Amino acid sequence: MTDWTPYTARASEWFQTLRDRICAEFEAIEREAGSDAAFEYTPWKRAAVEGGEGETGGGTRGLIKGKVFEKAGVNISTVSGGLAKDFAGTINGASAEQNAFSATGISLVAHMANPHVPAVHMNTRFLTTTKAWFGGGADLNPPLPYDEDTAEFHAEFKAACDAHGADYYERFKAWADEYFYIPHRKVHRGVGGIFYDHLECADEPAWEANFAFTKAVGEAFLAVFPRIVRRRMGMAFTPADKAQQLEWRGRYAEFNLVYDRGTLFGLKTGGNIDAILMSLPPEATWS
C-alpha cells in the first residue's frame, strides 16, 4: 500500500498557499471599497469522536466581515485518525473494520453585502482511507442572477476542466447541478459550477494528474470570482433586492444543514463547529 503521507503534506501546503492568496485578494477588494477589514485566523485541533480516535491534526478558520464581504470564511484543515465506526461505511474505501483516514483541504464560502454580488462556495480536498482520492468544486449562488456572471464563471471552470479531461466539464457540471439541488424546494441552490469527487489515485502518476487538476480548480476560482465581485460591488440596490437576497440565503442554509455532505463529514470527524458552520449566512429570512 502506498504511503500517502508525503502527498498529503504536498496537498496541504498547496491549500494553505491558495488560502493566503485568496484572503489577500479579498482584503484588497475591501481596501478598494474603503474598508480596512481583514481576516482573523483562529487555529483549532481535532476533537475526539465516539467510536473513532482522539485528537489528531486540526486547522485554521479564517473569517472576514467587511464592507463588501459581509461574511466570508476560508478554512484550512489537515486531520487524520479513525472515523466513527457507524459513519465509516459511508466514506469511500472505509468500513467499521478499516476506519483509518486522513484528509486535507480548503473550504470557502462568501456571503456578500450587496445582493448584486453573488455568494460563492469553493472547496478542494485530498482524502485517504484504503483508497486515496481528490474532490472539490465551486458553485455560484446569486440572489439576483446575471447571465454575464454565470457565463464567465462557467467558462473559467470549463477551461480548467478541458485542460485535464475532455469529458470533465460536462461530467462535473452535471454533478454540480444534481448535487446542489434542494429537493424539498424543487430548486437549485444557485446557477451551478462544477463538483467532483473520488478522483482516485491508484499510483503516483494518477496522484500527480489529479493534483494538477485540483490546483487548476483553485486557480480558476481565484481568477474569476474577484472579477465578478468588482463588477457588481458598487451597484445600487433596493430593499426588495435585499429581501430577495435574505430569502435565498435561507435556502442556502437549508441545503447546507440538511443535504451537504461536507457539513456531515466535518461534524462526524471531530471538526471545529464554528469552522464547519461558517458556511451559514449572517442573516437570512423565511416567509
What are the residue numbers of the active site? 121
Distances (CA, A) of 6 to 9, 85, 122, 210: 5, 26, 24, 15
**Residue 70's closest CA among 30, 121, 112?**
112
CA dihedral sign of residues 149, 151, 154, 159: negative
Residue 62: strand pairing partners:
41, 74
CA-only gyration radius of the chain, Å: 18
Q: How far is CA 275 from the centre of its chain?
A: 12
Residues 6 or more apart from 83 whose CB is under 8 A from it? Answer: 49, 52, 91, 94, 99, 100, 101, 129, 268, 269
* C-alpha dihedral (189, 191, 197, 203), degrees to nearest 10: -160
Coil, helix or strand at residue 64: strand
* C-alpha dihedral (139, 141, 147, 153), degrees to nearest 10: -30
The crossing angle, in degrees rounded to 10, of helices 204-232 and 147-162 is: 160
CA–CA gap between residue 21 and residue 26 (Å, rounded): 9
Q: How far is CA 96 from the centre of its chain?
A: 27
CA–CA gap between residue 149 and residue 257 (Å, rounded): 27
* C-alpha dihedral (225, 231, 233, 237), degrees to nearest 10: -120
